[in-house]
Structure 1
Amino acid sequence: MPVPVPELGAYNYVPETKENLDWADLITIDLSLFGTPEGKKQLAETLIKGVREDGFFYVKNFNISQERVNRQFAIGKRFYETPLEEKLTYVPEGLDQGAFNGYVPAGRRILEPTSGIRDRVEVYNIPKFNGDFTHQHPEVIQKHLPEIEEFARSLHTEVLDPLHVLLAIALELPEDYFTNIHKYEIKSEDHFRYMKYTKFSHEENEKIGRMWGRGHTDLGSWTLLFRQPVAALQIQNHKTGEWKWVKPEDATLTVNAADALSFLTGGYVKSTIHRVAAPPVDQEDFDRLGLLYFSRPNNDVPLATVKESPVLQREGYTQNSFEKSGSPVPTMEQWTFAKQKWQRTKGVVRGDPKFETAQILPGYNERPYA
């Protein structure tokens, strides 16, 4: 697709940190190998290792140019230069009841109780372009909506569909098993996101324990995160509980498996707890702009363990937390809005003991924050 005239101007990435951080050693899925049966088999083996051990991995050679990625970062930057008064007109009705498409303003959570310091995270979510959602956006978004739509659809065809095929192969299922429950034309709560973390001063970072966000798991299938150089993402090792930094690797997407895939595989695929920390000192003077896509199964898909997988049967992953408790298994739509509502209304202050015991839905008592 020809890239439009760059009226937005160039997007300049900040310098990478020079600090020697404790980086996670993540696997890489090279989608240039996807075109042959042998390549698919090799990638499926690599993918299942990644989602079992770390839950996070890199994807490269996904057929979306860096120029197109830069354009999206430039659009996101321009959006966050929009006056707050205009952005606030796009806050979704029912935000505290789980609504999420549109603008979510900063300052909704207290990060440090004694100082009263609040978060500085702003989010703008754009839903699917499949006819199920109304698209009314601020001018800078509306003006570039065809380009944004093309980009979002490309993520579905060039990244998500191949990952779903690879996961099906790894679980010895028909190749179209997961693509059939993640069809773009069927309603789901997928969304494309521009996300901004506004910087804190060094003194403020120390007061909040150098933590910008709580540990959490994502609620869908896959989360795609485009590379940006401000180091902040940390993941928790499944076995040791240790926190590791995720390095922004050139020309890659950072991808993580999320709750829905964990439910569908009876816990065989891990939904990894992750968080956003304050950047290292040599990057403290920069805001952090994120570009993400959240993939979710179609709304009517029950989050029950896939019984047809020989792998899950052999390995003993035949029931998820709902099924083990005898509770009703939610659909993806029910899970989405229940967890979103819980996150918006519970545990406003980091460290609240309610994080340990709150039940989002009957039968689900996994600790969602760390």
Structure 2
Amino acid sequence: MTFTDPVDIAAHCARAAMGMMDRYGVPAHPNNFIVWYAFVADRDPELTKAINGILRSGQKFTDTICGELHERFFGMSQHEAELRAVGKRIEDAVARVMEYLSTASQGAIQYGNALENFSGELDCPTPGPELGVLVKSILDETKVMIEVNRQLEERLETSSGEIARLREDLDQLKREATTDALTGLANRKLFDISLRESALESEEERKFLSLLMIDIDFFKQFNDSHGHMLGDQVLKLVARTIQDCIKGKDTAARYGGEEFAIILPDTRLKDGVAVAETVRRQVAGRKVLNRRTGQVLGQVTLSVGVAEYEFGETLGAFVHRADEALYLAKRQGRNHVSSQDDLTTTNVIEFEDI
């Protein structure tokens, strides 16, 4: 994202950003400033929605949350730099292999030419001593070719091993770039990619597609009461439970903060609601325990919204509908699952009441 605001507007946005950062206790370092400048300048609707959601929930802008906002909306520069570096090393290793092969090819051509010359000389009547010299020359050329091939084999073996290691590094970096470090689920970047691919497949093959948006109830109060370390344990618990409840091509992701999402390909709305109920019951049936003290800290519950993809709609509209169902679940008392059908029913009731 680039900023090309006129000087007066830029100055106004900068002052407003610094003011809001001070108000909400956000450390004034460059990454945070970029996020809040973009927020007050209203540059990205998704960023605006994310920050407004955090403000509504009353959460504190911890270093973790600030880092997630910057990573989500302004790229993962460290991962990208590492990926580019490993990619460049692979290119260099492949270039060396091509150079080795080129050298070997030239050597083979020279050896072939030498054999042709020797063959021509052998066709001529040759005295005994000169024949010995000719045979020695052939043997010398053959020894040179054998040594060239031996060196080539060693170099190719070394380069192949290096390329294999670099590919492993590249795969690891790709996994890290698309995985949430705390929970091990897909991160927001991979969620966006998976949702786009699933929607495309749904369109092309005319298959159902459902989306679950999940939020941990009263997570801020739990954090404030028991601290962020135990809060992180709750996030891990919920993530493990969600992962245990899905299968096959389903994708579970940490959407941001205490919010999760599940993409369910080839799944219609009623089946998506069934998955949501399973996740909700599984989490609600567990108690949070402080392992150090043995104290039971209470029950964790979830609110879940479920939507089904409509062919031709934007992904933003799809996610928004699942979000609206999630907010409805919270309004209905939390520890609850609502679907887009409930939104329609609610709208009809409100209209009739009017």
Which category of TM-score, normalised to the shorter sequence, fits these structures?
A: under 0.3
TM-score normalised by L of structure 1 = 0.26
Structure 2 length normalisation: TM-score? 0.27
Greater relative contact order (Cα < 8 A, sep 6+): 1
Rg larger in structure = 2
Greater per-residue strand proportion? 1
